[in-house]
Structure 1
Amino acid sequence: MKVLVTGGAGFVGSFLCEELHNSGHDIRIFDNFEPQVHSGAQGNLRNLLPNGIPLNGVELVFGDVRSPIQLGAALRDVDAVIHLAAQVGVGQSMYEVHRYVDHNTIGTAVLLELLASRKHNVRKLVVASSMSIYGEGGAHCASCGSVTPALRGATQMSVGDWEVRCPICGRTTTPVPTAESKPVLPTSIYAITKRDQEEMCLVVGRAYGIPSVALRFFNIYGPRQSLGNPYTGVAAIFSSRILNDRPPVVFEDGNQTRDFVHVKDVVQAISLALVKDEANGHVFNVGTGRPTSIKDVAILLSRKLRRNIAPQIEYKFREGDVRHCYADISKIKEHLGYAPTVELETGIDDLIDWAESQKADDRFEAAAAELAKRGLAR
């Protein structure tokens, strides 16, 4: 196929484009090289652009998804679209509301209106969604069974009561794997825009006969993740702090858990969704099914980077943060044959090998101060 990858020069996109090219597809990479995310980003494409010259079957197009002219030209003669382009950052989205909605929701609307109103050859659309749309992850109450908890309140967290409580009886719940059937309760502007992207693509795809798939990515990590973006993945933020001999800052008590999935396994999931008809019309979690505490990630990175730097536990909270969320991956395993291949302890080595070769520009403190000034971290 000839595949258009929006955001194709980024962290996930660059690995995906390499895999697609190696699998025999022609690729058109469409990216705006957003400075916050893409510091030196063309280096991500060095395997596809040796000496700056694209390999056969590779095109690089500078463009913005909000531009119908630029995006319309990029859609010419492609058989599939993988839509990764988005502004990424939960905290930042809460005060740069217009920018996030403009790029993520409106940018996706531009793409879908082009597909709805013009002749094209697109026979598959894959969109990047996010675990953030769930809000709190799956939870079980010993008295009430499976429950859908709301976001923890400021009153509860201000006294260090971090765990999720049952919305029915108020007891502390136990985290369980989060399935695609769980009601979504986005707790940030970023999460709302990811829900928008997912739902819009599936609705338009169904209406116009374009097989569409939404992939809910959990916490992606790996090489090429921006070390200078304080709103990127926590593993990269912690790496940047440690490489600058500063402690990784951990909110709450550090025992909140996430599902850390290596970029190679994310690429595996996208590639399967692209070629398998069984994916059409579905949403799938993309993770490992394994919860890991944020504190343990900080300790692991410090050990792997050979620094004796303990995490700085803040016992503070950020607006919109959830306590536990890890993936139930049974659906994607059954339908698409997906199986995660990279354990966190091994995959972290990939991130570290790359991070140690980069200039780690630690901007965390400025970002944290911005959140505190606005009352979003307290």
Structure 2
Amino acid sequence: MNILITGGAGFIGSNLALKLISRGHVVTVLDNLSKQIHGSDPQNTSPLYLSIAEKVRFIGASVTDNDALIKAIKDQDVIVHLAAETGTGQSMYQIKRYTDVNIGGTALLLDILANNDHKVKKIVIASSRSIYGEGKYWSDELGYVYPEHRDDIYMQAGDFEVKYQGCEKPLKLVATDEDSKIHPSSVYGITKQNQEQMIMTVCPTIGITPVAFRYQNVYGPGQSLSNPYTGILSIFSTLIKNNKAINVFEDGKETRDFVFIDDVVDATILGIEKDEAQNNVFNVGTGVPTEVNTVVEELMANYNKIVPVTVSGNYRLGDIRHNFADLTKIKTVLGFTPKVDFKQGIKEFAGWVNTQEIKADKYQQSIDEMKQKGLFK
């Protein structure tokens, strides 16, 4: 098939492009090679871009560029829409930028498809676990509940666990399934919810099959080590490599579902190639929550290097406490099971980092920006 990947020079997109090519597909990539991800001279120095440069038809443009999108869509059978701004914290103060790219770019894509001749049969949209907000919990008093954003007053006092009105007993974290409440706690999450809903709503009305994947925290060899706004594995790795102390937010017991890049690519290809995926929304993760404290320990063990670690009680407004995926649906419908657990994946990731040039640490700059906006406490 002819497959267009918007944002296809990014971490997920470039890995997906290479796997699709190996399976006989013809890939076009539309990407603006953002400096935040690819550095200041991406066409010469970005490993992600260089990995696909001679293997795909490349269009260097933003997903908000009407003419470039029209050119990219021509003769495509499938579109994988990955292009998006992705920093949860950054989204809370660069609201227009995130809205223009994530929502505006998706609206433009659909507008072109709705009003022009094309051959597109399927769109796969990269959604996110961020649309679930605080996820799903069990209450002994009320059954399943979906807590709202955590209250700043409690977090200032060092109480970081989620609360739910009418529940006196502690809530029990459970896996978030696709039917869980959608209530994002960040602007990024809101834009991903909007992207998904537009694709799933508009596509069937214009004869295109939609598929949405709600990715958990994607990681692995090749991810950007220079972007200070996303990916605690990259951020912590850069700090460790620069012999700098790590500030663990909250109490370090917050958890994420870390899913290895190869598994994400495999799941996405199932969505592209399998008819069973059509008109469906799927979680993509491991189904296992991993504490941030564990992340720090595993990274230092794999780098064989110890740096000072402070569990500070600092926190960012817009961050969630916990979320991990229920994979029942994707296993049942698409036959997907993740192959790489966190211990194996972190070993592969750290091994790759050890081969890379040590990047300058820009993390404090991102924290200072959030402090200035009152979003970091």
Q: TM-score range by the shorter chain?
A: over 0.9
Aligned to 2:284: 286
Q: State the 1:47 CA deviation.
A: 4.3
Report the Cα offset of residue 170 of structure 1.
4.0
Aligned equivalents of 1:247 and 1:180: distance in 2?
A: 38
Structure 1 residues 310 and 278, CA, compared in 2 at 3 Å: closer, same or farther?
farther
For residue 362 of structure 2, what is the aligned residue in structure 1?
363
2: CA distance between counterparts of 1:291 and 1:44?
Answer: 28
Match of 2:12 in 1: 12
How far residue 359 of structure 1 moved from its aligned partner, in angstroms, is 3.0
Distance in 2 (CA, whole Å) between partners of 1:276 and 1:351 is 29
Query: 2: CA distance between counterparts of 1:147 and 1:43?
Result: 43
Segments of 5+ residues of structure 2 without an aligned counterpart are none
In the other structure, the counterpart of 2:122 is 124
Give 4+ residue runs of structure 1 displaced > 6 Å after superposition: none
In the other structure, the counterpart of 2:207 is 209
Q: 1:166 aligns with which of 164, 167, 172?
A: 164
Distance 1:298 1:209, change over 3 A: same
Cα distance in 1 for partners of 2:95, 2:52 equals 34
1:85 Cα offset (Å): 0.5
Number of the residue aligned with 2:373: 374
CA contact (8 A) 1:238 1:249 kept: no
Give the conservation status (yes or no) of the 8 Å contact 1:302–1:310. Answer: no
The corresponding residue for 2:258 is 260
Q: Which of 180, 197, 207 is matched with 1:199 structurally?
A: 197
Please state how far the C-alpha of 1:291 moved relative to its aligned partner: 0.5
User: 1:349: how far off?
Assistant: 2.1
Contact 2:242-2:358 within 8 A present in 1 as well: no
Give, as a single letter, the amino acid of the residue that structure 2 aligns with 1:360: K
Please give the per-residue CA displacement for 1:170-227, whole angstroms capped at 9, x wherever unaligned: 4320100011111111111111111111000111112112100111010111112111
Partner of 1:37, secondary structure, is: helix
Q: Is the 8 A contact 2:267 2:284 kept in 1?
A: yes
Q: Structure 1: how far apart are the matches of 2:313 and 2:52?
A: 45
- Describe the shift of the 1:48–1:375 C-alpha distance in structure 2 as closer, same or farther (beyond 3 A): closer
Q: 2:24 matched to which residue of 1?
A: 24
Q: Aligned ranges for residues 104-253 of structure 1 at < 5 Å?
A: 104-253=102-251
Aligned to 1:295: 293
- The residue type equivalent to 1:20 in the other structure is L
**Aligned residue number for residue 95 of structure 2:** 97
TM-score for both structures, normalised by structure 2 = 0.96
Instruction: For 2:358, give the aligned amino acid.
Output: K
State the Cα RMSD in Å.
1.2
Q: Which amino acid aligns with 2:64?
A: R
Counterpart of 2:48?
Answer: 44
SS of equivalent to 1:36: helix
Q: Post-superposition shift, 1:144? A: 1.6
Displacement of 1:42 in angstroms is 4.1
Quick check: 1:141–1:171 contact (8 Å CA) kept in 2? yes
Q: List per-residue Cα deviations over 1:152-187 (Å, max 9, x = no partner).
A: 101111111111123332432010001111111111
Aligned to 1:86: 84
